[in-house]
């Protein structure tokens, strides 16, 4: 068995607290595999030193930015400006398997078993997004293992790239870059890496007409669906309460508003979302540990990048 790791990307200090809480939560559930943080030259030295002091392994990667002639950044949100860099994960062939987790995620239950899903070298495992295109009665089923040859409509990009399992290789990365560098479809994408990953691993039954220089033989195998609880989007808890179970959740994904943007009130109200409280509970335990270790300067830097205390 080769090296298996969890991995996340950090390119700015505004997500530092998220990455630290992600690491803390993996330790809390006694994850067998380490977390490696991909860092870019845009990450301030203070944030990098905090990662090092926390004994979190880092790996330097260059930002992957597309020229304006290929992609008009104004077509998507500012926070997606550097997420193309995420696809560098697919070329890190020194690792046998990587489970990528966005840094706005919190691990609630050990999820090491996901590494054992039998994906091919040309495939990923992922979950569907909240708005999956299936009717409500079918929705829980579409979150489980399904026969990908089943005659159900399946939009090619129907996945959420906040969590995925992959088997990296230079060849895989080379082919993904070919799509990224030549496909005219990119001009209309709004979710950047998610659209690329979804298209590359979801096109299976389609001829890649108009996809640029890439051929059908070069695209990935159709992605494997895994249960929603490996990438439980926080908004699903209310919208799909018929199947959501708090005790099943392996990793919750804070899409949209980030928990560190607004602190929960001290007491007396239920208006603050319970899933946000989960994140703050983990954050406070992290700060307690840093305080015990005498890292007041680091705490000050981290606190300066989350919502101020009332």
In a domain, 187, yes or no: yes
Query: DSSP H helical segments within 62-185, as ranges?
Result: 139-142, 170-182
Q: Are 301 and 50 within 8 A, CB to CB?
A: yes
In a domain, 226, yes or no: yes
Tokens of 289: 């540990």
- The pLDDT tens digits along the chain (310 residues) read 679 999 999 999 999 999 999 999 999 999 999 999 999 999 999 999 999 999 999 999 999 887 766 766 665 555 566 788 999 999 999 999 999 999 999 999 999 999 999 999 999 999 987 644 443 333 433 443 333 333 333 444 578 999 999 999 999 999 999 999 898 888 777 788 988 999 899 865 566 777 889 988 899 999 999 999 999 999 888 887 888 899 999 999 999 889 999 998 876 556 678 999 999 999 999 999 999 999 999 999 999 999 998 7
Query: DSSP H helical segments within 68-192, as ranges?
Result: 139-142, 170-182
CB atoms within 10 A of CB 42: 12
pLDDT value of position 71 = 67
Q: What is the CATH number of the domain that holds 293?
A: 3.90.550.10
Instruction: Output the pTM of the full model.
Output: 0.89
Q: Which domain holds residue 48?
A: 4-303
The residue among 10, 88, 79 whose CA lies nearest residue 50 is: 10
In a domain, 308, yes or no: no
pLDDT value of position 27 = 98
In a domain, 143, yes or no: yes
pLDDT value of position 151 = 33
Q: Is the dihedral of CA 60, 111, 198, 191 positive or negative?
A: negative
From the centroid of its chain, how far is CA 212? Answer: 27
In a domain, 21, yes or no: yes
In a domain, 213, yes or no: yes
In a domain, 309, yes or no: no
Residues in the chain: 310
In a domain, 70, yes or no: yes
Domains: count for the chain: 1
């Amino acid at each position: 068995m080769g090296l298996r790791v969890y991995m996340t990307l950090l390119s700015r200090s505004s997500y530092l607290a998220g990455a630290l809480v992600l690491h803390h939560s993996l330790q809390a559930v006694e994850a067998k595999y380490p977390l490696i943080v991909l860092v870019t030259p845009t990450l301030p030295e203070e944030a990098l030193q905090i990662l090092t002091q926390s004994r979190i392994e880092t790996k330097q990667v260059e930002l992957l930015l597309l020229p304006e002639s290929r992609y008009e950044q104004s077509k998507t949100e500012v926070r997606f400006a550097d997420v193309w860099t995420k696809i560098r994960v697919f070329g890190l062939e020194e690792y046998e398997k990587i489970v990528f987790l966005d840094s706005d995620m919190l691990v609630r239950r050990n999820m090491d078993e996901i590494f054992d899903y039998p994906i091919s070298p040309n495939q990923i495992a992922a979950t569907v997004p909240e708005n999956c295109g299936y009717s409500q009665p079918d929705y829980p089923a579409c979150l489980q293992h399904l026969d990908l040859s089943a005659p159900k409509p399946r939009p090619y990009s129907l996945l959420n790239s906040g969590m995925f399992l992959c088997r990296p290789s230079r060849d895989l990365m080379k082919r993904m870059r070919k799509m990224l560098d030549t496909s005219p479809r990119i001009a209309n994408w709004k979710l950047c890496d998610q659209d690329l990953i979804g298209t590359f691993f979801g096109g299976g039954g389609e001829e890649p007409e108009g996809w640029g220089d890439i051929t059908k033989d070069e695209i990935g195998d159709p992605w494997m669906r895994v249960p929603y609880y490996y990438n439980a989007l926080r908004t699903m808890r209310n919208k799909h309460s018929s199947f959501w179970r708090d005790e099943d959740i392996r990793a919750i994904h804070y899409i949209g508003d980030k928990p560190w943007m607004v602190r929960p009130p001290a007491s007396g109200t239920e208006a603050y979302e319970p899933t946000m409280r989960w994140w703050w509970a983990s954050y406070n335990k992290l700060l307690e540990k840093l305080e015990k270790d005498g890292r007041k300067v680091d705490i000050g830097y981290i606190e300066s990048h989350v919502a101020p205390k009332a």
